[in-house]
Structure 1
């Protein structure tokens, strides 16, 4: 194979970062030894220049309707124009036509809407930007939408979450094609985390918790984040914040869709995930720092949250883990 043709499908209202994360990572891979090299082609209908969300314009490299060569990868970008793109029967038709010519098909962010409209996600697990996941699931009930992961692979079809998850997806594809050394080199070149495991949540709960409107829940979640090694049982939290345990549980179910106990376990697990990928602390030390009573409790938390044990999570995502400790929570 002289080259891997990587076709990026774009349209008006595409998100520039969705495109640049992919194309820049592939370019760096070529510079450090991707074999065979990637040939990245930006394709649009009629080879028209596209206006990105940001207002910048991108010149197309190929007319989508004229592409007939064998392809390594077809990737549909996301952006605010994804619904108009999915409503364009010509664009969707050509994506559907090109899919069998490619070894794999992918989307970034809301590009999954175009894949779904083309019937390429029917019966498959898929993800998209977390803000648009509910709409995708409602519009395409035959697609098994999961808003949590950074990216999902189901057979030869790969979908990724919002914006910068494009880099995580591309690093994973580069590693699949060329091995971990080249992928690690690309991550270093982009000063990126190598690489978030596919099952990692798009939005950390330490950020998401800020969205609640309830004062008690805000105080409780802030306390949990800063005191992971304390007694965080439901009764202890209820006593601290002057409510009954039953009322606290009701508030948590309403505002964060988790019981206090499950929220605490998830908070400790996410904090442990951060330590595993940013330090070389042994598992027992990570467990202690994050409030787990044992490494087995830590293991159960990871299996529940990420589907893999902590040792596997670390090996998947800690290629450049730093020595030392570091913060307990993001």
Structure 2
């Protein structure tokens, strides 16, 4: 029996690309090949680096990566997946009409076209994201939203790949900054080869399983909010230690020594959100950490983090994580039996 031909995966290079945007996802596919070979099966993927011309291309870190082929020589028909990285050099590519035309041709023939980090700006400039959900590195979200109003920007996501088309797109999709490209590649492997293979690759890469595409890009507990909100610094540092208590607007305003309306205006101006939404995100983040530690049941986690009832926690998780608390515990918890229990 003739083994199936490997899926061709091409990744675009251009001067100033982010190295990890390229080698991270490609290593996922390469590791999937290793796992296939360990099982006595043929490799699933054939990897290729393409650029304006074959040869070395300098990344933003200063070293060069060798492109296997020039773009014009790539056989786009039959191409399985094209990935477009981001990086400091992306701005110089935004006015390259020849590149944009090549991307549009690739979209017509390839099974999948995706981006990593600010590579979404290139896809958007080529018109490939019009009417589609898209994310990018958090620092480029505003540029994507304001520069391309026809794109459905979903900035607080890891990636928008969804072969079912329910919560994303299976043909043209995007991912957030740097390491989110690895999550995207694992999602592609899971769709191609099954969840067991994706988990095997994650273990080989010493990753903590696979983060769902709907997960937030970064933790509000770790975000540099306080550095950009000096008037709120004491309050932001106080909130995580009091999640189970009264964090209503009046209580927060009293703690911050401001009238409630003033506090709301300061939050909107300095953090771009309301006090209630900020508290909800911190509570979800704290609940995520407890569920991953598998030290408490869902109902206990809900109480400790100020949700009071498991159903309230469940609704918050579906909004912010796109999964239920129990599903999150099963995916990310070590020894999750206790954390996954609803009682």
User: Structure 2 length as normaliser, TM-score?
Assistant: 0.87
Q: C-alpha separation between the residues in 2 aligned to 1:44 and 1:309?
A: 42
| Residue from 138, 147, 158 that aligns with 2:146 | 138
Match of 2:210 in 1: 195
Say whether 1:213 aligns with 2:229.
yes
| Residue from 96, 106, 109 that aligns with 2:114 | 106
DSSP-derived class of the 2:10 partner: strand
Say whether 1:96 aligns with 2:104.
yes
How many residue pairs end up in the alignment? 323
Match of 2:178 in 1: 163
Matches within 5 A, 1:200-279: 200-208=215-223, 209-215=225-231, 217-279=232-294
DSSP-derived class of the 1:169 partner: helix
Query: Which shows bigger deviation, 190-199 or 175-184?
Result: 190-199
Give the RMSD, CA atoms, in angstroms: 2.2
Q: 5+ unaligned residues in a row in structure 1: which ranges?
A: none
Say whether 1:65 aligns with 2:78.
no
Q: 1:123–1:240: structure 2 CA closer, same or farther, 3 Å change rule?
A: closer
Matches within 5 A, 1:318-329: 318=332, 321=334
Report Cα offsets for 1:111-149 as digits up to 9, x if no partner.
Answer: 112212222111111111111121122222222222110
Matches within 5 A, 1:33-72: 33=36, 37-68=44-75, 69-72=77-80
Match of 2:165 in 1: none
Query: 1:9 Cα shift?
Result: 0.9
Runs of 4+ in 1 over 4 A off after TM superposition: 322-326
Q: C-alpha separation between the residues in 2 aligned to 1:29 and 1:281?
A: 34
Q: 1:74–1:227: structure 2 CA closer, same or farther, 3 Å change rule?
A: same
Q: 1:49–1:259: structure 2 CA closer, same or farther, 3 Å change rule?
A: same
Say whether 1:291 aligns with 2:306.
yes
Q: C-alpha separation between the residues in 2 aligned to 1:21 and 1:87?
A: 27
Q: 5+ unaligned residues in a row in structure 2: which ranges?
A: 162-168
Report Cα offsets for 1:281-305 as digits up to 9, x if no partner.
Answer: 3211221221221101211222332
